[in-house]
A = this chain, B = another copy of it.
């Protein structure tokens, strides 16, 4: 699958050819996870509407939920003002985090609201 050249021209990638993907749940607004994409991962995500990322450690593509069943149906994708981050608005099946929590930001609170 190849990425629309007009989109590819607007992307700014790091030295490894990657950019950041932030994934947000449509129904709750929760930020679910942050991962990496390259052009191919973005092309697959746009084409299939399944959240598809690039794993640096495994050096391969992964479709979120492919093994866990916790798929993401992608409603919207937006590119930020400097072209180095995409925002995915998704419907998340089950837990987004591989630890079993709803989001990857549930477990470790560094600063709490002032009471």
Contacts and interface: CB of A to CB of B under 8 A. Distances in A.
A24 B31 contact: yes
Contacts of A31: 22, 24, 31, 87
Within the oligomer, what is the number of copies of this chain? 2
Interface residues of A, number: 42
A63 interface: no
A30 B80 CA distance: 13
A78 B105 CA distance: 6
Contact of A29 (B29, B77, B106): B29
8 contacts: A24-B31, A29-B29, A33-B80, A45-B111, A78-B105, A78-B109, A78-B110, A79-B110
